[in-house]
Every structure is written in C-alpha cells, then in structure tokens.
Amino acid sequence: MLDPALLRGQLATVADRLATRGYTLDVAAIESLESERKAVQSATQELQNLRNTRSKAIGIAKGKGEDASALMAEVAAIAGQLSDNEQRLAEVQQRLGAIALQLPNLPDLEVPHGADEAGNVEQHRWGEPRVFDFPVKDHVELGARKGWLDAETAAKLSGARFTLLRGELARLHRALAQFMLDLHGGEHGYVETNVPLLVNAEAMQGTGQLPKFEDDLFATAVGDSRRYLIPTAEVPLTNTVRDGILDAAELPLRMTAHSMCFRAEAGSGGRDMRGMIRQHQFEKVELVSIVKPAESAAEHERMTRCAEVVLEKLGLPYRRMLLCTGDMGFAAARTYDLEVWLPSQQTYREISSCSNCTDFQARRMLARWRNPDGGKTELVHTLNGSGVAVGRALIAVVENYQNADGSIEVPEVLHPYMGGLARIA
C-alpha cells in the first residue's frame, strides 16, 4: 500500500509514476473524497469544541443552581451530529482505503519505462547455449517415452494444466528441490521454513494478492471459514512478520521454503498450454528477506545472485533482465527476472523473478522494526524471489542435457540427490 501522505500531498506525482506502469489513477475521485474527508473532519472538530464549551457551561450553571436543561439539550443534539459525522468519516475513509488497496507500488526511479516485456533491459548473460548435432526434443517428448510425464492421466484426475510425474523424472524433480534448499540454507544463509499451503484473507491482502487478484486464486470454504491456496510461499513467509515489531538485531531476516503453489491463471488461456511451462499446481523454492529500508537495494542484488548461483551450479545458460515499469508485478518497485535457455524453443524463458517491494507490503501488514537511533518504529522493507521454480528447472535440465537417444544426463551437482545416478536412460 502506498503512503497515504503521498496521495494527499503529491497526488499528481503519484499519478504520473503509476501511469508509467499503465495504471490510470482516478485523481478526481481521490480529490473529491479527500475534500469531503477534510470538510467532515473540520466540522467534527468544531462540534467537539462546541460540545466541550457547552459541557463546561452546564457545570457552571448547575454550580450556580441555574436551569441547564437548554444547554443539556444542545449537547445532546451535538452528540447526535458527531455520531453522524463519525459515520460519514468512516465511510469516506473506507472508500479511500478501497482505492488504496487497488493501487500498485510506485516503480523505482531507475526502472526503465515500458509498456510490456519488450521494454525490459538485459543486464548480463551466463553460459553458452549448447549446439546439438541431432534434432532437439522438448520436455514433453522426452518425458513421454516411459510415461515419466503424463498430462493425460493428470487431466483425468484434475483437468487441464496439471501434470503427473513418474519414476526417474519424478526423482529428478525432487532432487532439484532438495539441492536448492540445501544451497540456500547451507551456503546462502536463508532459514529453511515449512509453511502452510492454506492462508486467510488477511495474509493474501498483506502481500498484495487481495483484493485485486482474487480471480487468480484458488479458495476453499468449510462452514464460515474461507482460506486460500497459496500462489507462492512468499505469502506465508512474508506474513510471518505481520503486525509485529522486529529488533534491529533480527534484521536482515532471510527465509526459504519449498512449497506447492496454486494459480488459476485467469486470462492466460492459450499461452504455454503444452507441458509444464504454465500449470495450476507447481513447486517453487522461494526466498524472502525482511530488511532495514537502507539495506533493501543491496539485498535485492544479493537475493538475485543467490538465484543465479542455482542455475550456474546446474550448468544452465541464463540471462538477467531488469523489468520495465509495465512488466513488473503489483507489489514490486524493482524486479530482476532470470531467464533460462530452452533449446526446444530457442529462446530464454523466465525461471526466477526477484523483487524489492520496499515498504509497500509492510504498510499493508503493519510490519515494523525498532530503530535504535531514537527508538522509533519504522516500516521494514520486504523482498521476495524464486530460488528457483522447480518445474521450470526440470524442463531446462531435461532439454539442455538430452542425448540423441532420448536419455538425459544428470547435472553433476545433483548426483548425490539421485543416489549417484548420472544418466536417466
């Protein structure tokens, strides 16, 4: 959520910066509501002062033995007016709050302007795409040989955009997740965390999924209790600091989790329907950092580098992209995407997205830290990133390490997780 002071004092600037994201801010509606809010508050203060004055006059009159009934009637009328004003003010603030919840984060001033992914800027590349001397198969063809990748049975069980993995391919998928957790927990300093897959609406609102993206979420209802299946472990991990105050010594707080993720993918019909590229259910190893505001820019670089190390240890060519204003996620102020090389598509595809959300989520969650310099509480900064998407890592490994006979070499770093197996034959 944006700072209310910005909406009150720098509305035109906010509108201009949001416009670079393709978001049109209804300035007139906000100005009208703000004008009404100020008028009601001013009238309320006048009535409160008048009530105080008349209440004192009642005490004086009674002390003199005079009739105070007229004054008492006036105070009663003022109380009724104050009640009406409080209701009006609550309604106006609720409408302003509803607008604020729909507003995306302001892009960092250094983020390039652009309408969509065409405006993203490449930062660097690592690794050279392999040159094959045989026709390249995609992950669906490679996985179908022994029924390792079975979309047909998954569709019978659950419908479209689900996949069933078997045998050595399922083991490779598990190995990738274990490798990532060990790397981030053992070498990168993230605390491994096992998170709930079902969360309440407050958690979804805290990280920005609600109310704007409810159509993209799966939800459950048991009696009067409604919970949401998480679209990413970012939601429970980040919300662990909701409504709390952290000591300076606890920061930076770094957490990682391997979890199932669930997305309805509303509005993405026809895109990447083949195979495991875009699924309703998938797995990710997530990275979340809670930091002091002055440290979030450096933490963003660090987090992105941790995700890059995963791809480098797997020997997968990738490139880092700085997303433009029109391609960033709702809560992000600045985002790097890592895109891995897929031989079957002859292009780079997203496998990790690392974002600095500054104080946007913290304000929604009321997540704070106590600054020892003065002892005041301030909002923390939150960051999240994929470290990395397990399914897409599986796709990249299968395609980049394929052989002419359809067998797949296992990256050396995964051998310990595969019981020493060096090839899926």
Please say whether the beta carbons of 105 and 2 come within 8 A. yes
Report whether 83 belongs to an annotated binding site. Answer: no
d(CA 348, CA 343): 9
- Ranges assigned E (strand) in 224-346: 225-229, 245-247, 253-262, 281-291, 318-322, 334-342
Longest dimension (CA), the chain: 108
| Angle, alpha carbons 48-52-58 (nearest 5°) | 140
Which helix (H) or strand (E) covers residue 39, if one does?
A: helix 27-63
Nearest C-alpha neighbor of 221 from the set 200, 197, 195, 196: 200
Report whether 19 belongs to an annotated binding site. Answer: no
Q: How far is CA 104 from CA 53, 68, 92, in A?
A: 45, 55, 21
| Helices of type H across 145-200 | 151-158, 167-186
Report whether 308 belongs to an annotated binding site. Answer: no
Report whether 202 belongs to an annotated binding site. Answer: no
Please say whether the beta carbons of 326 and 351 come within 8 A. no
**Strand-pair category, 191-192 with 253-262:** parallel
Report whether 353 belongs to an annotated binding site. Answer: yes
Rg of the chain, C-alpha, whole Å: 27
Report whether 232 belongs to an annotated binding site. Answer: yes
Report whether 55 belongs to an annotated binding site. Answer: no
Q: How far is CA 50 from CA 75, 78, 90, in A?
A: 8, 8, 22
Report whether 234 belongs to an annotated binding site. Answer: yes
Q: How far is CA 26 from CA 33, 90, 245, in A?
A: 11, 21, 34
Please say whether the beta carbons of 352 and 388 come within 8 A. yes
- Catalytic amino acids? 263, 278, 350, 353, 392
Report whether 265 belongs to an annotated binding site. Answer: yes
Report whether 384 belongs to an annotated binding site. Answer: yes
**Strand-pair category, 381-389 with 121-126:** unpaired
Report whether 168 belongs to an annotated binding site. Answer: no
Tokens of 316: 């997968």
Report whether 30 belongs to an annotated binding site. Answer: no
Tokens of 311: 């791809």
Report whether 29 belongs to an annotated binding site. Answer: no
d(CA 26, CA 96): 11
Binding residues for ATP: 263-265, 350-353
Query: Which residue ranges are tagged as binding site?
Result: 232-234, 263-265, 286, 350-353, 384, 386
- Per the annotation, binding residues for L-serine are 232-234, 263, 286, 384, 386
